[in-house]
Amino acid sequence: MTAIQEKTDFKHLFLTNSSIENYESQMNHAMNSVTAIMTSRFPYSGHSPLDVKVGIERAFPEFQPMIKQNHQAVFEKLAHSIAANTIHVSHPACAAHLHCPPMISGLAAEVIISGLNQSMDSWDQSGAATMVEQYVMNGLCKMFQLPKGDGVMTSGGTQSNLMGLLLAREKAAAKLWGWNIKKQGLPREHYRLKILCSEVAHFSVQQAASILGLGEDAVVLVKADKKYRMCMEDLASCIGLLKQQGDLPFALIGTAGTTDFGSIDPLDEMSKLAKAHDLWFHADAAYGGGLVLSDTKKQRLAGIEQADSITVDFHKMFYQPISCGAFLVKDRDSFSFIKHHADYLNPIEDEDDDIPNLVSKSIQTTRRFDALKPFLSFQLVGQNEWAEMIDHTMEVTQKTYEVLRKDPEFAVYHQPELSTVVFRYIGTGMLSKEKLNQLNYHIREILLKNGEVVMARTKVGGEACLKFTFLNPLTTIKDVQTIISKMKEIGDYESRRLQDEQN
């Protein structure tokens, strides 16, 4: 028999005791690619999408070269063509979206997560990592006062909101018709099922309704008041009207931090109304959940402990690297609605032997060990310091609101409840609504093209607006005043140009 010659020179490609030197070398190159952009004066390079695309294609003309490339050369090209053209999220002038600067502790955790490469679906793929995730869930349930609760890590708010409505739908079908959607599919009467949320709630509510087979029309939008919180009178009216029409409201979504306005719905009142009408109450605290860490601000979340399920994002006000979310339930037995058993993964016998397989309470199978990020950060950053960061950020937001409100060249649309400010540059007031819309978008585009400021845009009542989203504890009111001065300078120049066009 001819001996089979085995190729054994792959060890340098994988992390083993014989490849540690290569691992450290590539990790150092990777760190240099990241730290290089930390010296940038601006939050973005200013390059256009086309310029960035062309630059990457020039640096890497072949998707998969036949012959391996030199490590140092590849990482240098990566640093110049990719890293240098990403958004510097830790820069004080990066204030566009709910996109936080990551804590160094979270970045350190990412190194461990990738190196260990645990898969969180089953105990035999994760070991202690499973226990860490459960430890984090237990701690979160204690924070949000859910003594009989449980949770699971998710990719973020969109997935968590989907899970909340999935459980709500399953429970409603079982209670109303004795129907098991998991096994039998949607019942004939499913078109009567309705979800209620604020008109300024996150779009993922409609997205979830679509995915769950109920359709976007199943979502009933309740009016928001002048502070962009859910109007309780309109909520009661909507519930009454739905029942009168023969519809079946089954879920109510309360938002603790809307994307644009940072508004927090009256969660306590909503929880009582949900209980009175037997509705599943889901609290979307993806944005505002971090207030639970602040003794001076946590009262704004009053009533969240009554929610049947809660969305929490660690990659927002908890300052963890993306992605890092959590989904909590008040009653741990609620996860039974989505439990599936696979003999190769989470057999029933494992439950009898108290072997934890987290896939039993997730809609994902393979998952990263993301719980290590908040776990390590909670150990390395004290709650007092965390609370100070949140309080500081909200103080900067309030000061920004006051500066803009007192400036006649700006119109502000709300008083901040969290850390966003929606406003509009109006200048001297000589431009039409259409021209003002153009002007506000121009201001944002010019600042981005210059690489100086990354800020967001939105619309309120058809009016183009600008938005600050402050999630960076390093941003000061002085930084904001510098940005405002730049906006006014651009606004003055552009408004004169547009006024000439208008005339």
Q: Where are the domains of the chain?
A: 12-88, 119-380, 383-502
3-state secondary structure at position 137 = helix
The total of other beta-carbon atoms located within 10 Å of residue 86's CB is 13
pLDDT given for residue 338 in this prediction: 94
Ordered per-residue pLDDT tens for the chain, 503 residues: 566 666 668 888 999 999 999 999 999 999 999 998 888 889 999 999 999 999 999 999 998 888 889 989 999 999 999 999 999 999 999 999 999 999 999 999 999 999 999 999 999 999 999 999 999 999 999 999 999 999 999 999 999 999 999 999 999 999 999 999 999 999 999 999 999 999 999 999 999 999 999 999 999 999 999 999 999 999 999 999 999 999 999 999 999 999 999 999 999 999 999 999 999 999 999 999 999 999 999 999 999 999 999 999 999 999 999 999 999 999 999 999 999 888 888 888 888 889 999 999 999 999 999 999 999 999 999 889 999 999 999 999 999 999 999 999 999 999 999 999 999 999 987 889 999 999 999 999 999 999 999 999 999 999 999 999 999 999 999 999 999 999 999 999 888 888 877 76
Tokens 């644009």 sit at which residue? 260
pLDDT in tens, 267-284: 999 999 999 999 999 999
Tokens 């509009």 sit at which residue? 424
Bridge-based pairing state of the strands 463-469 and 454-460: antiparallel
Q: Please tell me the distance from the alpha carbon of residue 59 to that of residue 78, in angstroms, as a whole number.
A: 8
280, β-bridge pairs: 251
- CA–chain centroid gap for 471, Å, is 12
Q: Please tell me the distance from the alpha carbon of residue 305 to that of residue 447, in angstroms, as a whole number.
A: 42
- H-type helices in 221-316, by residue range? 232-244, 267-276
> Cis peptide before 323, with omega less than 30 degrees from 0?
yes
Bridge-based pairing state of the strands 219-222 and 280-285: unpaired
pLDDT given for residue 351 in this prediction: 84
Shortest CA distance to 137 belongs to which of 303, 342, 349, 378?
378
Q: Please tell me the distance from the alpha carbon of residue 400 to that of residue 395, in angstroms, as a whole number.
A: 9
User: How many residues are given for the chain?
Assistant: 503
- DSSP secondary structure code for residue 230 in this structure: B
% of the chain residues with pLDDT over 90: 88
119-380 matches 383-502 in fold? no
pLDDT given for residue 2 in this prediction: 61
Please report, for residues 11, 356, 361, 478, 488, the alpha-carbon distance to residue 350 in angstroms, rounded to integers and kept in the order given.
Answer: 35, 7, 14, 58, 64
The answer to whether the CB of 150 falls within 8 A of the CB of 329 is: yes
The domain defined by 119-380 folds into Aspartate Aminotransferase; domain 2 (3.40.640)
pLDDT given for residue 68 in this prediction: 87
Is the sign of the CA dihedral 336, 206, 275, 181 positive or negative? negative
The answer to whether the CB of 299 falls within 8 A of the CB of 275 is: no
Bridge-based pairing state of the strands 219-222 and 248-255: unpaired
Q: Which CATH superfamily is domain 383-502 in?
A: Aspartate Aminotransferase, domain 1 (3.90.1150.10)
pLDDT given for residue 500 in this prediction: 77
